[in-house]
């Protein structure tokens, strides 16, 4: 399974799908570890290493922490695939109401339909879209001044349209630092809710499984190419980076491990609340987090959580930042 994190998916499309199977290895590794500790401790190292490899992507998907008390000086940044506001009637207004109730300072959105966004946009004086002239785009809405911004293009993709242009950056003056927000949307898997309906026979199960895997593999190459651009954009930033978006993949793949060399994932130690950011999967008991927010190591996050609201087929991921590192307990 670790091969899925080592090999870029543009080289072997579908390889990152193996990461989804990592949780299945916890039980056999744990049983083997207990066995070797009891009868031959010297042979337990392999299983210890295996569990260590599995632990990081698991902690990046499932919450273990408790939320810290809200402070006045913290900044909240959310990433949210809003599904063009088609999920429910009045979605833009409801998302706007939610963003104010939760005191969201910066909202990174994917699949926004600008013609329907007015009820939400009125809450944020600083806004930028990519591409600039399209109704369907990614967007960053901010209550803090945007000093510089630009669309970003996945130039290595051969396709045209939204998949090629669904990225942007904005340099934003926060109270404690100027940061570069990278808002990205990696190629969609193309899966529809009905693709994952319950099947009634073994043949239907095999057929559905093959269909789902073929869709995942078909778009995996594009996400691998997009990953190369994202790593470079992070490296080239003149400011500390906050990378947010819909990655259409769980933490643990090749892109995730490459980003961990430069960025922190606050969900690993400070994730709490609801499990699973993609509602159609979460409804079926598959609590995968395919929306991520990572940040430069010199920024201080004090918690990250998934908000349990049903205003899109995704759930928003909120990250709380503070000017200074959290005070260790007991000080």
Q: What is the pLDDT of residue 114?
A: 97
Q: What is the pLDDT of residue 249?
A: 85
* H helix or E strand, kind and range, residue 308: none
Q: What is the pLDDT of residue 7?
A: 55
First to last CA, the chain: 42
The answer for 307, left when phi > 0, alpha when psi is -120 to 50, beta otherwise, is: beta
pLDDT in tens, 140-173: 999 999 999 999 999 999 888 899 999 999 999 9
**Residue that wins the pLDDT comparison between 62 and 309:** 309
What band does 200 get if pLDDT is binned at 50, 70 and 90? very low
Is residue 211 a contact partner of residue 195, using CB atoms and an 8 Å limit? yes
CA dihedral 87, 295, 62, 34 (to 10 degrees): 160
Q: What is the pLDDT of residue 32?
A: 78
Q: What is the pLDDT of residue 285?
A: 83
Is residue 284 a contact partner of residue 196, using CB atoms and an 8 Å limit? yes
The model's pTM is 0.84
Mean per-residue pLDDT for 304-326? Answer: 93
Is residue 77 a contact partner of residue 106, using CB atoms and an 8 Å limit? yes
Is residue 299 a contact partner of residue 321, using CB atoms and an 8 Å limit? yes
Q: What is the pLDDT of residue 19?
A: 61
Strand order from edge to edge, sheet including 263-264? 146-152, 167-173, 178-185, 241-246, 291-296, 263-264
**Residue that wins the pLDDT comparison between 75 and 43:** 75
Phi/psi at 248 (5° precision):
50, 35
Assess whether pLDDT exceeds 90 at residue 287: no
pLDDT in tens, 19-35: 655 565 666 767 777 87
Domain edges within the chain: 75-322
Assess whether pLDDT exceeds 90 at residue 246: yes
3-state helix, strand, coil in the chain (%, to 5): 40, 25, 35
Q: What's the topology of domain 75-322?
A: Deoxyribonuclease I; Chain A (3.60.10)
Q: Which of 273, 230, 233 is nearest to 255 (CA)?
A: 230
CA distance linking residue 146 with residue 129, whole number of Å: 12
Instruction: Give the lowest-confidence range in 80-84, 201-205, 278-282.
Output: 201-205
Helical ranges in 60-197 per DSSP H: 91-101, 118-121, 162-165
pLDDT in tens, 99-141: 999 999 999 999 999 999 999 999 999 999 999 989 999 999 9
Q: What is the pLDDT of residue 207?
A: 58
CA distance linking residue 170 with residue 242, whole number of Å: 10
CA distance linking residue 154 with residue 146, whole number of Å: 23
């Amino acid at each position: 399974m670790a091969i899925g994190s080592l090999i870029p998916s543009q080289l072997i499309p579908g390889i990152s799908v193996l990461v989804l199977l990592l949780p299945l290895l916890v039980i056999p590794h744990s049983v083997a570890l207990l066995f070797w500790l009891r009868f031959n401790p010297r042979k337990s190292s392999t299983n210890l290493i295996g569990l260590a490899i599995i632990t990081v992507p698991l902690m990046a998907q499932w919450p273990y922490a408790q939320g810290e008390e809200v402070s006045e000086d913290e900044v909240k940044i959310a990433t949210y695939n809003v599904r063009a506001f088609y999920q429910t009637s009045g979605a833009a207004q409801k998302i706007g109401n939610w963003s104010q109730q939760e005191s969201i300072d910066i909202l990174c959105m994917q699949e926004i339909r600008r013609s329907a966004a007015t009820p939400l946009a009125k809450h944020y004086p600083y806004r930028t879209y990519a591409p600039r002239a399209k109704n369907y785009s990614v967007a960053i809405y901010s209550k803090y001044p945007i000093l510089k911004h630009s669309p970003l293009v996945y130039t290595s993709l051969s396709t045209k349209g939204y998949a090629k242009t669904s990225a942007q950056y904005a340099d934003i003056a926060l109270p404690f630092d100027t940061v570069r927000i990278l808002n990205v949307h990696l190629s969609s898997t193309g899966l529809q809710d009905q693709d994952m309906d319950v099947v009634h026979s073994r043949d239907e199960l095999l057929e559905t499984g093959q269909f789902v895997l073929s869709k995942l593999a078909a778009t995996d190459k594009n996400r691998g190419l997009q990953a190369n651009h994202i790593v470079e954009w992070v490296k080239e930033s003149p400011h500390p980076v906050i990378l947010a978006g819909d990655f259409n993949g769980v933490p643990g793949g090749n892109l995730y491990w490459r980003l961990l060399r430069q960025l922190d994932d606050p969900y690993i130690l400070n994730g709490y609340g609801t499990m699973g950011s993609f509602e159609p999967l979460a409804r079926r008991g598959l609590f995968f987090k395919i929306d991520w927010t990572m940040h430069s190591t010199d920024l201080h996050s004090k918690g990250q959580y998934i908000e349990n609201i049903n205003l899109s087929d995704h759930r928003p991921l909120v990250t709380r930042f503070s000017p200074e590192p959290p005070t260790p307990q007991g000080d």
